[in-house]
Amino acid sequence: MTPNSAVRQWRKPHFIASPWLRWGLILGVAAYLSWALATLPFDWERISQGIPRAARIFGGGFPPSFERYELLFSGFKESFQIALLATLLGVLLSIPFAVMAARNIAPRPIYLLGRAVIIVSRSFHPVIVAILFVKAVGFGPLAGILTLTLYSIGFVGKLLAEEIEEIDWGQVEAMRAVGASYLSTLIYAVFPQILPRQIGLSMYQLDSNLRASAVVGIVGAGGIGGTLMNAFGRYDYDFAFAILLVIIAVILVSEGVSGWVRRRVW
Amino acid sequence: MPGPAVSLLLVWMLLLSIGLQGIAMLEITQLVKRYGRNDPVLKGLDLTVEGNSVVSIVGASGAGKSTLLRCINRLIEPSSGSIKLNGDELSNLHGQALRQARRRIGMVFQGFNLIDRLTVMENVLAGRLGYVSFLQAWRRRFPQQDIERAFELMERVGIAQYANKRADELSGGERQRVGVVRALMQEPDILLADEPTASLDPVTSEQIMKLMHSLAHELSLPVLINIHNVAQARTYTERIVGLRHGHMIFDGSPAQFDKAALEEIYGGIEAPDETTASATAEEHHG
């Protein structure tokens, strides 16, 4: 012990400094939760009836049946096609929109337009967009492709625009100093800097589109989702279970591949 | 023996070529740069640079050195005043005309500003972007003489063996050599260097200054160098210009640049730094 020093204590400061605000928030959340639980109509009788039904469905799924593998295969083939085409289209289209929506390289009116496009295409979940497109262009893979393209533009475009806003400005300055045009500056100073991110996002988007293509299929936009919906409708739980297993396997493989590709790009 | 008519023609062509090439001249008069309503960074600066002289611009941070260089190639918009390169006014150019004027002004940066992910050759050829079409630039199909010139210049500064290496694999000194070659690829009438050695170690920095000095004389190119290292300014340049608070307070040979001049430039109260820093950031993102 050093002389003339009292024992000094230390506590980590609270995240919210004011005790009134801190306790007020905790009490408020607790009160809302208990009110929400009390007022939502949970029908315990129906839940207890539902459990054996769920058990029957899962029971019906065992053992999974791969008998109709042709249907399974053609469904997946269509899903792959939808996902691949939508990713390709979406990623290509996201580049101009990302350039438009980057504050540092787009003039103000163009920037606002670009942001607006991205915000609109991100506002709705793919399922809602799919319902609209199925109404507009009819059942089938075209609706799925359009849906996922729009979804990809929104997601990739937004992240790419943010990436452009964070580039090293010195490289742009250097291209301006040599007298390069706007387009040449874009392809020399901007695109090389965002390329790794672009590839990473495309891989991630392919992954995500594959998953989403199964979902939008349920509302009639083609692919394995439709096959799954039909299997459920006909109480073919063993076939439905087989489809689910293959979906899981495909997602695992695609995640592995996209992770590997993203690590390789530096 | 050529006939008199032929020799007359030869003499005439010689004169014409000298006349066309001319002696590069930069004439800056009453240059003012003001950010918003702040005190101007440059307060009515006059500077004339002729022929193949290497001029160093010294001054404390915030004295306006960087702003001065960037006003010349219009990376920063001057508020008022005139900048003439070989008689052509630069301060009122826009669009295509501005890009064509920029081709004649090479610039070397403190942070090199290379395209890290592209090869050394692509970086060097980027110096020709003002001359080739977008499609040529995109497909990397540069004219044969550009490629020849690129190899010649890279050999001259000792980086030809790195042509296909990525720019970010090089050391600092090598990267700045790429920066210098890129600027020279423009076939500029004048070279601007904004603290070209500030990010380099002392030995490399010395090499780069030596290189710029000898290149300036080989290519008869006037060079303006912003520099903090006064010893290097004395050794490698023929003329020293001292800035303080946006005024030129010294203009003379290295021999004339004595202790009194040095103290006048760096001494006293420092100019507020943040005006230039924040305003430059605005300019970049505006």
- Quick check: B115 and A177 CB within 8 A? no
What ipTM was predicted for this assembly?
0.82
As given in the structure block, the two tokens for residue A112 are 């606002």
pLDDT at B20 over 50: no
- From residue A193, give the alpha-carbon distance in Å to each of A92, A160, A169: 17, 11, 10
Closest partner CB to B103 (pick from A178, A184, A196): A178
- Quick check: A177 and B107 CB within 8 A? yes
- Among residues A160, A154, A95, A93, the alpha carbon closest in space to that of A129 is found at A154
For tokens 């979406």, name the residue. A90
For every residue of B15-39, DSSP letters joined together read: HHHHHHH---EEEEEEEEE--TTSP
Pinpoint the residues of chain B covered by CATH 3.40.50.300.
22-104+188-285
Q: With bands split at pLDDT 50, 70 and 90, how would you rate the model's confidence at B12?
A: low
List, in sequence order, the alpha helices (H) in chain A: 19-39, 44-61, 69-100, 108-123, 126-137, 141-165, 169-177, 182-185, 191-218, 224-233, 237-264
Q: What's the pLDDT tens digit per position in B73-91?
A: 999 999 998 899 988 888 8
Q: What's the pLDDT tens digit per position in B26-48?
A: 889 889 998 888 888 888 889 99
Asked whether the beta carbons of A126 and A216 are under 8 A apart, the reply is: yes
In this predicted structure, what is the pLDDT of residue B280?
41
Q: Which CATH number fits domain A64-264: 3.10.129.10, 3.40.50.2300, 2.30.36.70, 1.10.3720.10?
A: 1.10.3720.10
State the Cα–Cα distance between residues A218 and A225, nearest whole angstrom: 5
Asked whether the beta carbons of A145 and A85 are under 8 A apart, the reply is: yes
As given in the structure block, the two tokens for residue A119 are 């915000």
Q: What's the pLDDT tens digit per position in B199-244?
A: 899 999 999 999 999 998 888 889 999 998 888 999 999 999 998 8
State the Cα–Cα distance between residues B107 and B114, nearest whole angstrom: 12
- The CA R_g of chain B, rounded to the nearest whole Å, is 20
In this predicted structure, what is the pLDDT of residue B74?
93
- Quick check: B129 and A173 CB within 8 A? no
State the Cα–Cα distance between residues A175 and B9, nearest whole angstrom: 41
In this predicted structure, what is the pLDDT of residue B9?
61
In this predicted structure, what is the pLDDT of residue B285?
41
Closest partner CB to B134 (pick from A169, A181, A196): A181
In this predicted structure, what is the pLDDT of residue B8?
60
B63 phi/psi in degrees, rounded to 5: -75, -15
pLDDT at B157 over 60: yes
Distance from CA of B2 to the nearest CA of A (A): 44
In this predicted structure, what is the pLDDT of residue B263?
85
- Provide the pairing of β-strand B190-194 with B105-108: parallel
Element containing residue B58 per DSSP (H, E)? strand B54-58
- Among residues A233, A253, A231, the alpha carbon closest in space to that of A242 is found at A231
Element containing residue B207 per DSSP (H, E)? helix B202-218
In this predicted structure, what is the pLDDT of residue A90?
93
State the Cα–Cα distance between residues A144 and A90, nearest whole angstrom: 12
- Quick check: B138 and A171 CB within 8 A? no
- Provide the pairing of β-strand B223-226 with B54-58: parallel
pLDDT at B23 over 80: no
State the Cα–Cα distance between residues B70 and B74, nearest whole angstrom: 6
Domain ranges, ordered by start, for chain A: 64-264
Closest partner CB to B115 (pick from A103, A181, A192): A192
Those residues of chain A that have pLDDT short of 50 are: none
In this predicted structure, what is the pLDDT of residue B190?
92
Mean predicted lDDT score pLDDT of chain B: 84
In this predicted structure, what is the pLDDT of residue A222?
78
In this predicted structure, what is the pLDDT of residue A106?
92
pLDDT at B14 over 70: no
B2 phi/psi in degrees, rounded to 5: -75, 145
In this predicted structure, what is the pLDDT of residue A225?
86
A90 phi/psi in degrees, rounded to 5: -65, -45
In this predicted structure, what is the pLDDT of residue B6?
63
Region B176-196: mean pLDDT is 93
As given in the structure block, the two tokens for residue B98 are 């501005």
Chain B residue whose CA is closest to A168? B113
For tokens 């004649």, name the residue. B104
In this predicted structure, what is the pLDDT of residue B272?
45
- Among residues A256, A117, A250, A265, the alpha carbon closest in space to that of A201 is found at A265
The correct answer on CATH 3.50.40.10 for the domain covering B22-104+188-285 is no
In this predicted structure, what is the pLDDT of residue B5?
65
Chain A residues with CB under 8 Å of B186 CB are 178-179
